[in-house]
Amino acid sequence: MNKPILVIGATGKTGRRVATRLTDKRIPIKAASRNGQTHFDWNDKSTWPSALEGAGAAYITYFPDLAFPGAAESVEDFAKLAVTNGVNRLILLSGRSEAEAQLAEQKVKESGADYTLVRCAFFNQNFSEMFAEVVQHGVLAMPGGDTAEPFLDAEDIADVVTAAFTDDKHIGELYELTGPRLLTLTEAADAISEAIGRPLQYIPVTAAEYAEGLVASGLPPEVATPVAEMFAEVLDGRNSYLTDGVERALGRKPRDFADWARETAATGVWDRAEIAS
């Protein structure tokens, strides 16, 4: 690929992994984020043209999440601008069974670009990168109840995205990605408990209760409420099924949650000593 790939959200869960893989393959990138050298802000359209300048493709991750109201409209505007500026290869990170996310997928398809859609289950890494301190304290309180979810490793997502950028056979594909098995949040907490050698208790709460907790931890209400509603929606049972997306894209099975938990525990991210005093 002669022109660099614009990686939006290059410091995020999947963006930084995609950026690393592309760099390792000696594929040039423009690593874009709100505070990065290539400045990009979804809420400031004036940052978009300079980020797209010189790029030949783009990995689109929307912040804070495609489920948020207005996300599809922003993605549509960005995709149109990208194609107008000669950036004709777009890969969109999307979510399962989210109306706004699937509307964004449609907008990318209609943009005229060569596209790949990567529709993902709940990330394993939410437990280590978003909820790390929660795990350290031993209580995971969030919506979900006894719903089963096919938790997905972000490393698998990054592998699929990288493959899509490096092989034209992925153009026009929709890959719905899940892990290899269904787990309830209680079972996921038990797997982490086994990995860290101490209890992690899952306590089901309502979306409203979860939003209250997020606000108490410092998140603005206008962000906390849609985040809580998104988790409640994703974990209400609508996504309690497996897909073959990883295997179809990569020719291998996705990584198991328990294997991921053991390897993550070994990094020390959940060690109690890391809790701030």
pLDDT band, residue 1 (cuts 50/70/90): low
- Predicted TM-score (pTM) of this structure: 0.95
Three-state SS for 162?
Answer: helix
**CA–CA separation, 162 and 171 (whole Å):** 12
Angle at CA of residue 172, ends 252 and 177, nearest 5°: 35
Structure-block tokens of residue 119: 């529709």
| Contact present, 37 and 31 (Cβ < 8 Å) | yes
The pLDDT of residue 217: 86
Q: What is the pLDDT of residues 86-139, one digit of tens each?
A: 999 999 999 998 899 999 999 999 999 999 999 999 999 999 999 999 999 999
| Bridge partners (DSSP) listed for residue 148 | 184
Structural domains for the chain:
5-120 (3.40.50.720), 124-151+179-240+255-272 (3.90.25.10)
Structure-block tokens of residue 273: 């000593």
Structure-block tokens of residue 144: 């979900």
| Bridge partners (DSSP) listed for residue 152 | 123
**CA–CA separation, 46 and 53 (whole Å):** 12
